[in-house]
Structure 1
Amino acid sequence: MTTPTPAPVYVRTPAHGFLNSLSVDRVLARYDLAGSIAHAEMLGHVGILSASEVETLRGGLRRIARELAQGSFDWREDLEDVHTNMEVRLTELVGSVGGKIHSARSRNDQVALDERLFLRAAIHSVAQRTHELASKLLERARQEIETPMAGYTHLQRAQPVTLAHHLLAHFWRLQRDVDRLLATAARSNVSPLGAGALAGSTLPIEPDRVARRLGFDHPFENSLDAVSDRDAFVELAFDLALLSVHLSSMGEELVLWASTEFGYLRASPGLGSGSSLMPQKRNPDVAELVRGKAGRTIGDLLALLVTLKGLPLAYNRDLQEDKAPVLDALSTTEATLAALNSIVPDLQFERERMRETATDPALRATDAAEHLVRHGVPFREAHDRVAAHIAAHGGRFDRPEGGAGLEPGLSAAAWTFDPSDPLADRLSPGGPAPVAVRRQIELADARMRIAQSSLSSLGRLTGLIEELLQEEPK
């Protein structure tokens, strides 16, 4: 039976609190334990540890995992980081053999590994929530294929579209966000363990064995790069910042649409709250906060880039500051996605108001110019004719009787488009006509299936960590 080793006593200095990162990096604890199990198994395979030592270490590490899950783990603030907390507790449980777990390993490659494992799980979580929001937008679009509305440029009515087409524009943004997150996960699926402090080890280690055990594609190519690289965190921070910008755009439109001036969206309890003073007000608070949260994630990206910009190779303590901005960006984005996922299914659109704006004759001015183009008029000339017609009618566009003033030499029968049906001729691929939108939805469904397959594969990799931390079957 192994005799437990008393916990070491660490002397606190005035700078200790400044160096301490436990408040931030304790989120890495389970990944740290899983990495240690894989590392111990590799050390056993190459003969640095005996089989019984590997089993002892594995049992101790899994017990710590249970303590974490049960909330009974005693975090020691006098130990400066998550790695020291895990190793000290392991030594308390299994004795001096616990000190062997750090053979051929540095905290430099250890934290790099923990971050890669954490990043994999974090990407899966935020990508899944983004995928869910995209799915809900797609379902709402299916219901609004025949709902016309005005499309806007410069926040002014421009051309007729459908509500489905507008919702799908946001869908495709989110779909790219999911693709981008998955690409970051794939590109960062490289194990840094075995790089040591910066120059590997003189011991006969096998980094590729650890990489396979933890679900990585392969181990690092360069030990200096492995311990100093934070590209994956930067890429994730960028992905989250851009995703937040896309969500902010949605939030801005919800704010506008809920206003009396637009009147496209009925105020609902899920979208906001009332005024503390004005009884008639319903403020779109949720949408406004969705818009506002983007500032934080953009700031987190900048904070991370500034931290990294002047660092020489290899590891520097500045890298301790990499986690806080990424964790903040993750929690902010997850909260924003949760809010939008809760309100999108219940949005109440004012379809008659949308239809009214879509049938504004002014929105057909471009159609009139293209009508002339179909009859051989150069586009610039057609554009000028329509513009002159609008100017001559007090800034309004009304269909001229028999094409008067627009089509010299063309018969009245040549004037074929009908301003009362704003979408009749918009059949170009990717356009807003119902037939084109239905084709677009078919493409969207196919992309959703591909994304879900990729998310499932990433989820299986994430599940490897929990499998490592489970008890061996008896």
Structure 2
Amino acid sequence: MLDGAEELAKAGYAWEIADAPILHRALNLADLAHVLELLRIKAIPEHAGHALIGELLHLADSPDDTVRYDPEFGEMYSSRERYFAGRIGDDAGWLHAGRTRREAMRIAYRIVVRRQVLTLVTAAADLVEHLCIQGRAHIDTVMPDYTYLQPAQPTTFGHYILSFADPVLRDAGRLVREFADINASPVGSGAASGSALLSDREGPGHDLGFDGPIHHVRDAMWQSDPFTHALLAATTLVIAHDKLAEDLEIFTSREFGFVTLGDGLVRPSVLMPQKRNPYALTVIRGVAGIMIGRSTGQLTVTKSPSARSDLYIYAYGEVPRSLDLAIRATELTSAVVRTLSVDAGAMKAALEETFTEAADIATFLMQRFHIDYRSAHSIVAAAVDYARADARPLSPQDISRSAQSVVGRSLDLTDDELAKLTDPVQVAASHDGLGGSARTPMLAFADDRTTQAIELRDWAGRTRDTLDLGEADLLRRARAAIDHEEATETP
């Protein structure tokens, strides 16, 4: 072994070889399409092409460890070359015709990532549907909305939980838009400026399910932004899950007692019998941190001159692993939402003596007595202080007393008026503008977002079906080529 080769294998090739299980199947497809195209244009001998197809079909039905992927032989493409040479001798060398190893790897990478994007979009759509189901179920379940963990205004749990639907839909939409660039074909790019052998870049790419060729071959080989954007969208998607998980971790605590996770999502303490740890929420929060770290790492390695392998060496495995983690975190978040039990009594009780209706009272005073809002705000703030000092509910006398000191005159409310203004159910129901907590806008919101989720899932399903059919047809054509050769050789 050459001096330094062992160290390079351990530090470099071993890293790439670890990604072989991720890319193995996709590399088989990329190689099959390449050999079929070489045979179509009569660029290689038929016997060599058929020998290669036979081995590739064998690998298509075999686990990745059939090829001895070993850093001692170099990166994974070199291990595959060694495997083919050991099986069919010099005929294996025809696989290199008109294509660099990087082109094969780039094709396989896109094949893997495009399916993960579809799976993540589907998982996001499922999550939105579960959010909408819970939102409808608790459209009238009143609770305090919190800012800075302080009671702010009366709302409903339905309104609260539905606030997480649009962030998920936005990231799903970003993934859909990035799919178009991810599913663009680098086939036929050659070394740097094109291939002297493969002039048709559309047909072979179409055979692999790509929507069309990337128009500039150098960009086709070295672009990283579609994958970076997909990774960032997956990261912000998981950050949205994290926000919900962090809230729910508080809401599941004994001090709040608003919600309970499903039994399958908690973990008991091995020492303390009474504890029921919301372990699923810990996992979601941890995944968000990991995704942020991996996204930052990928952004760092993409900062390089053009036509450098750094970004791909560390992207082939890291991006698919990160997307897989995002998929699992999204599916776990769906399970959390789906199995969530809500204590409506605890939520309503949490509104007592919190004065969360104060902003609505100030707005009423402004409109009823034609005073500016800042003065109305000061009146209600002082009235709340009076009530708090005596540990009692707000009274019309508190309003009148504070108004006298702020604006120099009494503002008289009846008991019935104040009772309506301090009823959290009526306050939440009065916020009936677009996106407000009232029943009508929230039911319309839930219906619309459910429709959007169904459309996303249907798009992902149709696209996945198209890819499945294309890959099945590629394998069928490859088998037909072998069958034709065998039929021709049979006397």
| Cα contact 1:130–1:178 (8 A) shared by 2 | yes
Q: Return the structure number with greater helix share.
A: 2
The 10-residue stretch of structure 1 (22-31 or 326-335) with the greater mean CA deviation from structure 2: 326-335
1:428 to 425, 430, 433: 433
1:293 to 287, 292, 295: 287
Match of 2:486 in 1: none
> Which residue identity is paired with 2:385?
A
- Distance, in Å, in 1 between the alignment partners of 2:282 and 2:378 is 41
Change (3 A) 1:26 1:466: farther
User: Is the partner of 1:322 in helix, strand or coil?
Assistant: coil
- Distance, in Å, in 1 between the alignment partners of 2:374 and 2:459 is 48
Answering whether residue 138 of structure 2 is matched by residue 144 of structure 1, we say: yes
The 10-residue stretch of structure 1 (455-464 or 147-156) with the greater mean CA deviation from structure 2: 455-464
> Which residue identity is paired with 1:342?
A
| Cα contact 1:107–1:197 (8 A) shared by 2 | no
Q: Deviations over 1:35-86 (max 9, x none)?
A: 12222233233332366654443333222111238x6554445332332333
Aligned residues with identical type, % of pairs: 23
Answering whether residue 319 of structure 2 is matched by residue 326 of structure 1, we say: yes
Match of 1:65 in 2: 60
1:81 to 75, 83, 88: 75
- Distance, in Å, in 2 between the alignment partners of 1:155 and 1:271 is 25
CA positional deviation for 1:450: 1.9
User: Is the partner of 1:270 in helix, strand or coil?
Assistant: helix
> Which residue identity is paired with 1:427?
D
Q: Deviations over 1:174-218 (max 9, x none)?
A: 222221222221232211122222222222421122222222222
Match of 2:406 in 1: none
The 10-residue stretch of structure 1 (115-124 or 130-139) with the greater mean CA deviation from structure 2: 130-139
User: Is the partner of 1:146 in helix, strand or coil?
Assistant: coil
| Alignment gaps of 5+ in structure 2 | 404-408, 484-491
- Distance, in Å, in 2 between the alignment partners of 1:255 and 1:411 is 41
The 10-residue stretch of structure 1 (104-113 or 409-418) with the greater mean CA deviation from structure 2: 409-418
Match of 1:357 in 2: 350
Q: Deviations over 1:323-370 (max 9, x none)?
A: 343244234323323433333322221110112224556111111122
Structure 1 length as normaliser, TM-score? 0.88
Structure 1 residue ranges (4+ consecutive) displaced by more than 6 angstroms after TM superposition: 9-12
| Cα contact 2:366–2:376 (8 A) shared by 1 | yes
Change (3 A) 1:61 1:104: same
| Cα contact 2:383–2:398 (8 A) shared by 1 | no
> Which residue identity is paired with 1:450?
E
CA positional deviation for 1:468: 2.5
Aligned-CA RMSD value: 2.9
- Distance, in Å, in 1 between the alignment partners of 2:168 and 2:50 is 46
CA positional deviation for 1:304: 1.0
Match of 2:336 in 1: 343
| Cα contact 1:273–1:282 (8 A) shared by 2 | yes
Matches within 5 A, 1:61-460: 61-68=56-63, 72-266=66-260, 268-309=262-303, 311-317=304-310, 319-358=312-351, 360=353, 362-375=355-368, 376-394=370-388, 398-400=394-396, 404-405=400-401, 408=410, 412=414, 415=417, 417-420=420-423, 421-460=426-465
Change (3 A) 1:11 1:67: farther
CA positional deviation for 1:313: 2.0
Q: Deviations over 1:441-472 (max 9, x none)?
A: 12112211221222123312442335423564
Match of 1:468 in 2: 474
The 10-residue stretch of structure 1 (383-392 or 228-237) with the greater mean CA deviation from structure 2: 383-392
Change (3 A) 1:274 1:67: closer
| Alignment gaps of 5+ in structure 1 | 1-8
Change (3 A) 1:249 1:318: closer
CA positional deviation for 1:131: 2.0
- Distance, in Å, in 2 between the alignment partners of 1:315 and 1:124 is 29
The 10-residue stretch of structure 1 (355-364 or 400-409) with the greater mean CA deviation from structure 2: 400-409
The 10-residue stretch of structure 1 (223-232 or 339-348) with the greater mean CA deviation from structure 2: 339-348
Match of 1:32 in 2: 27
CA positional deviation for 1:433: 1.1
CA positional deviation for 1:412: 4.3
Change (3 A) 1:233 1:318: closer
- Distance, in Å, in 2 between the alignment partners of 1:200 and 1:340 is 45
The 10-residue stretch of structure 1 (148-157 or 15-24) with the greater mean CA deviation from structure 2: 15-24
| Cα contact 2:360–2:421 (8 A) shared by 1 | no
